[in-house]
Structure 1
Amino acid sequence: MFLVHLFYRYFLWLIGWKIKGKKPKEVKKYVLILAHHTSNWDFPIAVAARPLVKVNDARFLGKASLFKSKFGFIFYWLGGTPVDRSKHNNLVDQVAEKYKGHEKYAITVTPEGTRSYVDKWKTGFYYMAKAANVPVLMAFIDYKNREIGVLPEPIHLTDDVDADLKRIMDFYTTKIPRYPENSLTFHGKGIKPPKTYNIFKVILKLLLTFIIVFSLINFELVVYGVKQAYGQLNIIFNAKPVTEFLEDPQYPEESKSKIELIQEIRQYAFDSLGLDYSNSYTKMYDQHDKPILWVVTACKPFKLENKEWSFPLLGTFSYKGYFDKKAIDKAEKQLDKEGWDVRVREVNGWSTLGILNDPILSNMLNRSEGDLAELIIHELTHGTLFIKDNLQYNENLANFVGEEGAKKFLISKYGEYSAEYISYINKQPDYKLFTNYILSSTKRLDSLYNSFAEQDTYEEKALKKSELISEITTDMRNLPFRNQRYKEYFDNFTPNNAFFMAFVRYSGSQNQFREEFEEKFNSNFQKYLSYLKETYPSMF
C-alpha cells in the first residue's frame, strides 16, 4: 500500500493539487459527501486523495450487478459496496443496515448525482446519515485553488432539514468546480472554468521525474557524466582568447607562431577542405605542461571485440575518457579485475563534436607544423561529421582527412619542397609500415583466437596468445624502419588486444576512404565531404 499511496501523492503533485484537511481520527462512522461533481477528472483526483485525507474506508455505492460481474473485484478494490436499487428495496434502509454491526463504516455520496446540471441536490445522503445516526463529513474539490480535502468538523444533523442542508451547501460556495455552469451553486453566474492542471508545469515535472529516475537507475553513468561535463567545461570556461597570449610580451615567440599557425590551419580547413565552420581553436587553455585527459579502452582477452560504453543520445563508444587520473586508474583496475585487456593513454586533444567550441590545449604547441595541422583537421572533422554508433568509421575518416588535409595545407603554406612538408611526409613511410604491420598482426591474432577449441583451458589460450605477441614484437625489429624508435617501440611494454584494436579503430579502413576520395572525387575534399555529409547524416 505504501507504493500505491506514494503513486497517489506523485499524481497529485504532478498535476499541481494540494491536500487540505483530513478526517478526524475520532470519527469512526459517517456519511461522506463530495461536491461539486462536474467533471470526469473528479474521479481520479478523488481516488488519489482518499487515503491521504484519511477517508479510504469510505465506500461508494454501486449496483449489485456490477459487483457480481467478472470485473467485480475492481469495484471492490476501488472502494465500492453493492446495493440493490430495485423498486422493491429502500436504498436508505439498505445503507442504514450496513452501518449496524460495524465499529467503522462510511459511504461516499455525490449530492448532484451527475456531472450535468441539476436544479436541486439529491438528499439521500442526508436521510442515510439520519437513519444510521452518523454525522456528515464534507469533502470538497476546488479547481480554482487546485485543492481537495475534508472539512475536519463533522456535521451532526438536527431535525431541521432545511437549516442543515443550507449549512452544508453554504460551505461549498467558495469551492469552484471544473465546470461551474454544471453546478447548482454557480450555475448562471458566468464563472470561467478553471483548468485542471498547468500543462507547462506538468511537462517540467515529468522531465524532472525522468531525470531523477534515470539518475537512480544509471547512477554510475550520471556521476561519470557530471565529472566529464565538469572537466570539459572547466577547460572551456578557463580557456582565454588567443589574442591574450599573442599580445602578451612575456609569452614565447615560438608559441605565438604556433597559435597563429593554428588560426591559418582552421581557416584553411573551412575554406579549402570544406569542413564546417566553428569558433573552435580561437581560445587556448594553458595546461602548464600537465596532462589533463586520459582514455581507457578494453578488449576481450581471446577475441578481438572491444568493450563498448553506451551514452544516451551519443550512442556507443569503444573508449571512455577521464579528466581525473585517480578515476581512470580506478577504472583500469576494475576492468583488469573483470578480465579485460586494458589500455590507458594520455590524449592531447578531443572534440565536443561541434556542440561546443573546442580550445587549443597548450601542449599542442609542442608539435611540429605537420603534426599540428593533422591534429587540428582531425578534430574539426569530428565536428563536421560524426555518425552515431560507428566509432571506427568516425576515427578512420578523421585520420584520413587529417593526414591528407595536413599535406595539402603544408604545400599551400610552405610549398611542396619546403622543409616542413618534406619533414612531415618523410615520417609517413615509417608510420605506414608500422601501422600496416600492426594491422596484419591483428589478423594473425584473430586467426589464432578463432582456432581455439571449447575444451582449451584459459592457461593454454593465454600461452598461445603470449607466444604469438612475443613473435610479433620480435619480428618488428627486422622491418626496414628509417627511424630506430619504431624498432624499440615494444621495449618497455607488451601490447595486448586493446592496443591492436586501437589501430583497427583509427586506421583499419583508411584505404577505403583513399580509393573513394581519389577515384570518385578526383582528390577534391569539398566535393568528397559534401557527399559524405549527404550520405551519412551526422549526429549534430
Structure 2
Amino acid sequence: MRQRPLLGLMRLTRLTHLTRLTRPLRLLPLLLVGALGGCAQWGYYGQSLSGHLSLVRAAKPVDDWLAQPDLDPTLRQQLELSKHLRDFATTELHLPDNRSYRQYADLHRSSAVWNVVATPPLSLQLKTWCYPIMGCAGYRGYFKREDALALASQLKSEGLEPYVYGVPAYSSLGWSNWMGGDPLLNTFIHYPEGQLARMVFHELAHQVAYADDDTTFNESFATAVEQIGVARWLAQRPEALASDENSRQRQDQMQALLRNSRDRLRELFQSTVSDDEKRAGKAEVFAQLRQQYEVLKRDQWKGDDRFDRWFSTLNTPALAIQGSYTDLVPDFIRLFERQGRDWDRFYAEVKRLAKLPKDERRAQLAAGG
C-alpha cells in the first residue's frame, strides 16, 4: 500500500505527516485491463497501468546507480544499505527472492501515488472499491494528486467524509516482477535505517499472502512481518537500534492515542443516541485527541512537531485507515510464535487463512490459527 511520510504513523519517519497509511495501490496485469467495462473503469485502470509502467521505466538496477562515479554520496550510502536489507529479507525473513527493491527510480515527486479513503460521517466503516483479482479494498489510488482530489470531491457530494494522502510506496503483489519488480523510490530511500527496513520488509510481505476482501488482514500481516523483521535486523546493528528507539517509542505513543480515539468513536457510533449527539460526541473525541497530542508533544517530545501536518487534516477516515495497519498485529505475532517462529510455517498458515471467508478467517486468526 503501505500506510508508512513519518509514514505516517505506520512508519514514523522524519517527514511531517502520515503517508504510509497506505501504501496500497495494487495494480493489475496488462491483460486484465481489457476485461473491464465502462468508461470510468477504463479511465481508472488506464491511469493505473500507465502510471505503473512509467515508474517501472524510470527504474534501473541498484548496481547501475552505484557504478556512477558522480552519484550523490548520501544516495550511494542508502542504496548500499538497501542491498543488505534486501538480502536479509530473503535469507533471514524468507521473503520472496525476486527483482523487487533491487532497482531504484527517482520519480521527481514527493509521493508514489495518492490514496483516497472515505467513511460515512458517523461511522468508521471504510468505503470499499472492488477490483479484478485483488477483490475489494478500502482505498483507491491515483498517480496524479488532482485525480485523487476530484474523487474526494465527488465522494463528499455523495455525503461521505473523504481523506486524501500521499503514499511513498505501494506493492504490485508480485505482478510486476516480470517487468523488474517494485523498485526502491526517491520517496522513501532517504528514510533512517530502521524506517527503510520497515518499508522494504512490509512491501515484500504483501507478495507472500493476500486476502482479496480484507484490507486490515493484509496490512496487519505486513506490519507484523515488518515489526519482527526490523527487530531482528536492528539487533545486529546497535547504532541504528539506538537511533531508531526514539522514533519507535513515539510511534507507539501515537498509536495508543489513536487506538483509544477509535474505540471511543466506535462505541459512540454504535450507541442509540441521536445523530446530533453523535456529531457532538465525535467533535469532542477529536478535540480531546488533539489536546492529548499537544500535551504529549510539549511534555515528552520536547516540541517535536513531526505529526502536526497530519493532525491538521485528521478526520474520521484518516483515523479508520490507520487502524487497518495495526488492529490485527498482535494476532499475527501470536500466530508466528505458535508456529515456532518458523517463517515458512507462519507464511503457509497465513496463506491458508487468506483463502477462508472473512468471518471464519478472523475467528481462526484470533484463536491462533
What TM-score does the superposition give when structure 1 sets the normalisation length? Answer: 0.55
* Residue identity matched to 2:334: E
Which of 372, 390, 394 in structure 1 is aligned with 2:214? 390
- Any idea what SS the aligned residue of 1:306 has? coil
- Any idea what SS the aligned residue of 1:273 has? coil
Aligned equivalents of 2:309, 2:55: Cα separation in 1: 33
Aligned equivalents of 1:326, 1:392: Cα separation in 2: 27
Which of 303, 323, 329 in structure 1 is aligned with 2:143? 323
Aligned equivalents of 2:280, 2:162: Cα separation in 1: 18
| CA RMSD, 1 decimal | 2.4
Deviation at 1:523, TM superposition (A): 3.5
Which of 107, 126, 151 in structure 2 is aligned with 1:306? 126
Aligned equivalents of 2:310, 2:162: Cα separation in 1: 19
- Partner in structure 1 of residue 256 of structure 2: 436
Alignment deviations for residues 204-261 of structure 1 (CA, whole Å, 9 cap, x no partner): xxxx9x958x52xx32122101110100011112212222211111111221121121
Deviation at 1:465, TM superposition (A): 1.7
- Any idea what SS the aligned residue of 1:294 has? strand
Alignment deviations for residues 448-473 of structure 1 (CA, whole Å, 9 cap, x no partner): 112244xx35x554333212211222
Decide which moves more: 387-396 or 286-295: 286-295
Alpha carbons of 1:499 and 1:277: their partners in 2 closer, same or farther (altered >3 Å)?
A: same
Aligned equivalents of 1:535, 1:501: Cα separation in 2: 23
Aligned equivalents of 2:140, 2:188: Cα separation in 1: 21
Q: Does 1:532 align with 2:350?
A: yes
Q: Does 1:512 align with 2:331?
A: yes
Larger radius of gyration, structure 1 or 2?
A: 1
Alpha carbons of 1:484 and 1:513: their partners in 2 closer, same or farther (altered >3 Å)?
A: farther
- Any idea what SS the aligned residue of 1:507 has? coil
Aligned equivalents of 1:233, 1:407: Cα separation in 2: 34
- Any idea what SS the aligned residue of 1:346 has? strand
- Partner in structure 2 of residue 167 of structure 1: none
Check conservation: 1:385, 1:537, Cα contact below 8 A. Answer: no
Check conservation: 1:299, 1:341, Cα contact below 8 A. Answer: yes
Q: What are the equivalent positions in structure 2 for 1:468-479 lying under 5 Å apart? A: 468-479=285-296
* Residue identity matched to 2:235: I
- Partner in structure 1 of residue 229 of structure 2: 405
- Any idea what SS the aligned residue of 1:316 has? strand
- Partner in structure 1 of residue 102 of structure 2: 282
- Partner in structure 2 of residue 243 of structure 1: 63
Q: Does 1:427 align with 2:247?
A: yes
* Residue identity matched to 1:400: A
* Residue identity matched to 1:444: R
Decide which moves more: 326-335 or 524-533: 524-533
Deviation at 1:517, TM superposition (A): 2.2
- Partner in structure 2 of residue 143 of structure 1: none
* Residue identity matched to 1:307: K
Q: Whose RCO is larger (CA < 8 A, sep 6+)?
A: 2
Alpha carbons of 1:460 and 1:530: their partners in 2 closer, same or farther (altered >3 Å)?
A: closer
- Partner in structure 2 of residue 188 of structure 1: none
Q: What are the equivalent positions in structure 2 for 1:111-122 lying under 5 Å apart? A: none
Aligned equivalents of 1:278, 1:466: Cα separation in 2: 47
**Sequence identity, in percent?**
25
Check conservation: 1:292, 1:324, Cα contact below 8 A. Answer: no
Aligned equivalents of 2:88, 2:310: Cα separation in 1: 39
Check conservation: 2:194, 2:244, Cα contact below 8 A. Answer: yes
Deviation at 1:393, TM superposition (A): 0.5
Check conservation: 1:293, 1:347, Cα contact below 8 A. Answer: yes
Deviation at 1:426, TM superposition (A): 3.0
- Any idea what SS the aligned residue of 2:90 has? helix
Deviation at 1:375, TM superposition (A): 0.2
Alpha carbons of 1:306 and 1:488: their partners in 2 closer, same or farther (altered >3 Å)?
A: closer
- Any idea what SS the aligned residue of 1:388 has? coil
* Residue identity matched to 2:266: D
Aligned equivalents of 1:362, 1:318: Cα separation in 2: 26
Decide which moves more: 478-487 or 334-343: 478-487
- Partner in structure 2 of residue 226 of structure 1: 46
Which of 164, 167, 188 in structure 2 is aligned with 1:347? 167
Aligned equivalents of 1:358, 1:385: Cα separation in 2: 16
Q: Which runs of 4+ in 1 moved over 4 A?
A: none
Alpha carbons of 1:509 and 1:474: their partners in 2 closer, same or farther (altered >3 Å)?
A: same
Alignment deviations for residues 259-295 of structure 1 (CA, whole Å, 9 cap, x no partner): 1211211111111111122110122111235434111
Aligned equivalents of 1:484, 1:513: Cα separation in 2: 34
* Residue identity matched to 1:470: A
Alpha carbons of 1:488 and 1:383: their partners in 2 closer, same or farther (altered >3 Å)?
A: closer
Aligned equivalents of 1:290, 1:478: Cα separation in 2: 30
Deviation at 1:528, TM superposition (A): 2.2
Alpha carbons of 1:536 and 1:430: their partners in 2 closer, same or farther (altered >3 Å)?
A: same
Check conservation: 1:476, 1:487, Cα contact below 8 A. Answer: no
Deviation at 1:359, TM superposition (A): 0.9
Alignment deviations for residues 315-352 of structure 1 (CA, whole Å, 9 cap, x no partner): 00101110012211111111122222211111111100
Aligned equivalents of 2:302, 2:118: Cα separation in 1: 29
Check conservation: 2:290, 2:311, Cα contact below 8 A. Answer: no
- Partner in structure 1 of residue 304 of structure 2: 485
Q: Between Structure 1 and Structure 2, how many residues are aligned?
A: 319
Which of 111, 115, 124 in structure 2 is aligned with 1:291? 111
